[in-house]
Amino acid sequence: MRFTSLFLASMLFLVACGGSSESGPSENEAVSKLDSLEAIVFADNGTTASPKASMMLIREYAKYYKSNKTDSLGKDRLFKAGEISMSIGQGNLALKYFKILATDHADFHKAPEALFLCGYTSEMLNADTSEARFYYEKFIKTYPDHKLAQDAQFSILNLGKSGEELIEMFEKNLEANGN
């Protein structure tokens, strides 16, 4: 454990202090920095990545996107920033990134998922059921044949219900259907 902490601290220091030229880091430097942070955050060593390392990675993904807005890799990294933001409970940050992808890059292959995740993030992390309903309804209207359309419809029907209420509802449905 002590070695892991020392390794994490060393990597964070190296990434944070990485040299940059006057015009900013080169593409190779930016990718190298991302690779280093990803190795820390996604390390499969049985420990959870520190929120600080996760936030550093999120910021680097966002920086990469800013420099590469039209590139699919830049959009992909912004999507990852949203996912990591969700995983560490940063709902507003996740919502910000998913909204950018859903509205500014509707042609991006993950735009439908980004729009759905706007609803999910609003509901589950931000506890804003009216905003969640807005995004779920927009998703259904925009992508009626998408594989997540039924999930969005289910979410709308069950907004504000607790886990216990959902279980009780399922049990009643099973009883009513004779199962």
Q: Tens digits of per-residue pLDDT, 13-37?
A: 444 444 444 445 677 777 777 777 7
All structural domains of the chain with their residue ranges: 27-176
Specify the pTM.
Answer: 0.77
Taking the C-alpha atoms of residue 156 and residue 137, their distance in angstroms, rounded to an integer, is 8
Q: Which two tokens stand for residue 46?
A: 């049985």
Q: Tens digits of per-residue pLDDT, 125-144?
A: 999 999 999 999 999 999 99
Taking the C-alpha atoms of residue 144 and residue 147, their distance in angstroms, rounded to an integer, is 9
Q: Assign 24 to helix, strand or coil.
A: strand
Spell out the CATH class of 27-176: mainly alpha
Q: Which two tokens stand for residue 18?
A: 């990485």
For residue 121, what are the CA distances in angstroms to 52, 97, 177? 21, 11, 33
